[in-house]
């Protein structure tokens, strides 16, 4: 026994190829196409520093205080700890 499934055609109006091209290029078909301003090349990324993972336990209340302070300041906890360690061990 072979099962056959029939699919109805898509009822949506499909845009014309010119409209699709205009959409891709950021305009409407009735508008004249404008040149995009030249993009500035991004600065090369800083060289990556090899990283090592350090795992240690801290009390839950200290963790909560640190996390709240980092959220208030919009900072990452790992960055704060790296700065504290760099200050202690220059």
Q: Average pLDDT in the 32-52 region?
A: 78
pTM assigned to the model: 0.47
User: Is 17 inside a domain boundary?
Assistant: no
User: Is 15 inside a domain boundary?
Assistant: no
pLDDT on residue 23: 81
| Residues spanned by the domain of 73 | 53-90
Q: Average pLDDT in the 30-51 region?
A: 76
81 touches 89 (CB < 8 A) = no
pLDDT band at 30 (very low <50, low <70, confident <90, very high): low
Higher pLDDT, 10 or 58: 58
d(CA 88, CA 80): 12
Q: Average pLDDT in the 42-63 region?
A: 90
Q: Average pLDDT in the 64-75 region?
A: 95
User: Is 71 inside a domain boundary?
Assistant: yes
User: Is 16 inside a domain boundary?
Assistant: no
d(CA 25, CA 40): 19
In the chain, how many domains are there?
1
User: Is 74 inside a domain boundary?
Assistant: yes
User: Is 43 inside a domain boundary?
Assistant: no
User: Is 8 inside a domain boundary?
Assistant: no
């Amino acid at each position: 026994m072979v099962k056959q499934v029939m699919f109805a055609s898509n009822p949506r109006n499909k845009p014309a190829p010119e409209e699709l091209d205009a959409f891709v290029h950021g305009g409407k078909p009735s508008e004249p196409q404008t040149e995009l301003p030249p993009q500035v090349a991004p600065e090369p990324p800083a060289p990556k520093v090899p990283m090592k993972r350090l795992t240690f336990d801290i009390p839950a209340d200290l963790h909560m205080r640190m996390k709240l302070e980092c959220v208030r300041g919009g900072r990452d906890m790992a960055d704060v700890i790296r700065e504290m360690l760099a200050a202690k061990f220059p």
